[in-house]
């Protein structure tokens, strides 16, 4: 009988441990896996995971992504403006209208070219 009691006690302890471990992983999963990843990286490559170079690369990536979003926004604005102009100005002199539209398109193209130059200036090492 004592063997059965000891076995049941041991099973209860194991179940409680597994249960708590499950909830720890559930609530702190991302942090735990990040620490494991960082620890393995530092063990394998013998250098720190978070370096100034990595932080600079992250800043460059964020800057590039911001510029890309700005480029998309400019394209979207130009398309919306063209659609608005065409819907409002149906009786306008068409030569004058297309001249203005061409100038606006040139302005938007120049803005996009400037953004693409800035993106190329950001030299990402990967």
CB 78 within 8 A of CB 108: yes
> Is residue 58 exposed (0-12), middle (13-18) or buried (19+ Cβ within 10 Å)?
exposed
pLDDT tens per residue, range 27-78: 887 787 888 888 888 888 877 777 777 777 778 888 888 787 877 787 777 7
Distances (CA, A) of 122 to 62, 72, 73, 114: 11, 18, 20, 13
Does position 13 have pLDDT exceeding 90, yes or no? yes
């Amino acid at each position: 009988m004592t063997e059965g009691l000891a076995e049941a006690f041991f099973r209860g302890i194991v179940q409680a441990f597994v249960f708590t471990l499950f909830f720890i992983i559930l609530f702190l999963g991302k942090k735990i896996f990040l620490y494991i990843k960082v620890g393995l990286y530092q063990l394998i490559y013998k250098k720190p995971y978070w370096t100034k170079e990595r932080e600079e690369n992250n800043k460059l990536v964020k800057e590039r992504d911001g510029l890309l979003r700005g480029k998309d926004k400019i394209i979207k604005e130009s398309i919306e403006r063209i659609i608005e102009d065409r819907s409002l100005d149906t009786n306008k002199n068409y030569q004058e209208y297309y001249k203005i539209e061409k100038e606006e398109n040139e302005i938007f193209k120049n803005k996009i070219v400037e953004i693409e130059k800035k993106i190329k200036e950001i030299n990402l090492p990967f």
